[in-house]
Structure 1
Amino acid sequence: MRIGVLGPLRVVADGQETGIGGARLRVLLTRLALGVGGVVSPTALSEALWPEDGPAHPDTALHSLATRLRRTLPEPHALRSEPEGYRLALPPEAVDAVRFERLAIQGRGALRDGHPEDAAQRLREALSLWRGAPLADTAHLPFAVPAVTRLERIRLGVREDLIAAELGSSDATERTAHLVELGELIAHHPLRERLRELLVAALAADGRRGEALTAHEEYRRLLAAQLGTVPGKSMRALHQRLLGGEKGSSPGF
């Protein structure tokens, strides 16, 4: 059985998808999936299920919901009651969010070790797991907000890593696609230095040195105006290489 939370909640076993009916059952399964393999306390589950006014007897209500969820799951034995709470007894990578994070770590490690092709393969696989907004069924609930923020932050880093991994070997069409994507990301994260550095590097790799220098200057002015700071060491080093006439290469992250 596999559980997907990188989009609407999804449960799949033996190639067949099982619908989880009822909003509270979806909340319960999502909260358990975020703690897959470990015991989640009744208190944590109750806070997820009833963030404001809960039932008079939350433990009884939780037990009833867990029983209903167990009957709904294609592998009922995966939901186990423990003395300290409830546990989703599945391998961690049965949950797509866990697999995504592990692939993100592996991809970044490969990039740092100088293996961009391996890095790109793992990073593309990580991004392919996303089917929409993370925790789409429960994103509005307090328990989900930190998880959504964390997953979106990691996803942004994966997109950056993938562009960095592909810069050195990409053709003109791919570089154009990278520039479009970077423009979209910068519009949402204008002060994020790594995006700006990748933009400068991508323009330089495309033979557009003048535009790369202009992009650097625009970022330098933005930092000075909004934060009163200057670009970081890596960005300054890339700028110096461009001033020296180097075409540029993928930044080393």
Structure 2
Amino acid sequence: MELRVLGPVEIWTDTNRNSLDGAKQRTVLAALLLAGGRMVSDRQLSELLWGTEPPTTMNAQIYTYVSRLRKLLRDGATIVRQRPGYLLRTTTARFDFAEFERLSGAGREALREERHADAARHFRDGLSLWRGPALTDVTEFLADVELPRLEEARTAALESRIEADLALGRHAQLIAELTGLVATYPLAERLRAQLMTALFRSDRQADALAVYDAGR
């Protein structure tokens, strides 16, 4: 079983995707997964589902979402009632963000040890787990809370992967990718510096200075 939040929130068993009933059920699953084994209180779940205006049937609805998720999770993961909330324990299930964090950690260790080929591979494998914008089909309340840290983790891994590739002398191959990234994230200083480095090492000093001037 695979539990996914790096894109649409999904439960996969083998090659089959299990249907989740709407944004609120996906929100409960994603909130429990992203808590990393910690208890999420009923009040927290309510705020992530309905903001500051929960319905009077809040507790009953949360119970219904949890009951339906338990049937879908089977033996791969278990949702436990731990008052005043719930926690999710994974057993055999694979959680894509946890795997991304594991690979990113391995990449950072390899980068510190100057094993640049290993670092680039680990970061690339981790980034391949992203299937588009994370949490694309949850409530706005959960997205506002969790999406910034997920995107920050992805950007950090991407910048570190590029650092490893630059150390491996792949500057010419990186220029097109970095040009697009800088256009998308014009205030990302590390990406801009990496583009300047790639241009300079490709004997394009004038272009590197132009990138600097545009950033300034």
TM-score (norm. length: structure 2)? 0.87
Query: What corresponds to 2:189 in structure 1?
Result: 193
State the distance in 2 between where 1:142 and 1:20 align: 18
CA contact (8 A) 2:76 2:93 kept: no
Query: What corresponds to 1:34 in structure 2?
Result: 34
Could you list the structure 1 runs, at least 4 aligned residues long, displaced by more than 6 angstroms after superposition. none
Q: What secondary structure does 1:179 align onto?
A: helix
Query: What corresponds to 2:212 in structure 1?
Result: 219
CA contact (8 A) 2:37 2:88 kept: yes
Root mean square deviation, CA, Å: 2.4
Q: What secondary structure does 1:137 align onto?
A: coil
State the distance in 2 between where 1:136 and 1:126 align: 19
Larger RCO: 1 or 2 (CA < 8 Å, sep 6+): 2
- Which residue type is aligned with residue 3 of structure 2? I
Deviation of 1:213 (Å): 5.1
Q: How does 1:78-117 map to 2 (within 5 A)?
A: 78-90=78-90, 94-117=94-117
Q: What secondary structure does 1:89 align onto?
A: strand
CA contact (8 A) 2:49 2:141 kept: no
Query: What corresponds to 2:55 in structure 1?
Result: 55
CA contact (8 A) 1:7 1:135 kept: yes
State the distance in 2 between where 1:24 and 1:217 align: 47
Query: What corresponds to 1:168 in structure 2?
Result: 167
State the distance in 2 between where 1:24 and 1:193 align: 37
Change (3 A) 1:92 1:105: farther
CA contact (8 A) 2:49 2:142 kept: no
State the distance in 2 between where 1:135 and 1:77 align: 20
For structure 2, which runs of at least 5 residues remain unmatched after alignment?
Answer: none
Q: How does 1:65-84 map to 2 (within 5 A)?
A: 65-75=65-75, 78-84=78-84
Change (3 A) 1:117 1:218: closer
TM-score (norm. length: structure 1)? 0.76
- Which residue type is aligned with residue 200 of structure 2? A
Change (3 A) 1:13 1:100: same
Q: What secondary structure does 1:142 align onto?
A: helix
CA contact (8 A) 1:178 1:202 kept: yes
My pick for the range that moved more, 128-137 or 59-68, is: 59-68
Q: What secondary structure does 2:141 align onto?
A: coil
CA contact (8 A) 2:196 2:211 kept: no
CA contact (8 A) 1:186 1:192 kept: yes
Deviation of 1:105 (Å): 2.8
CA contact (8 A) 1:79 1:87 kept: yes
For structure 1, which runs of at least 5 residues remain unmatched after alignment?
Answer: 224-253
Q: What secondary structure does 2:175 align onto?
A: helix
My pick for the range that moved more, 124-133 or 104-113, is: 104-113
State the distance in 2 between where 1:114 and 1:100 align: 21
Change (3 A) 1:193 1:91: farther
Change (3 A) 1:76 1:64: farther
Change (3 A) 1:17 1:93: closer
Between structure 1 and structure 2, the one with the greater Rg is: 1
Deviation of 1:52 (Å): 4.3
Query: What corresponds to 1:155 in structure 2?
Result: 154
Matched, 1:142 2:141: yes
Q: What secondary structure does 2:187 align onto?
A: coil
Deviations 1:8-50 (A, max 9, x none): 1121234433221233211211111111322111111111111
Change (3 A) 1:50 1:198: same
More strand per residue: 1 or 2? 2
CA contact (8 A) 1:107 1:119 kept: yes
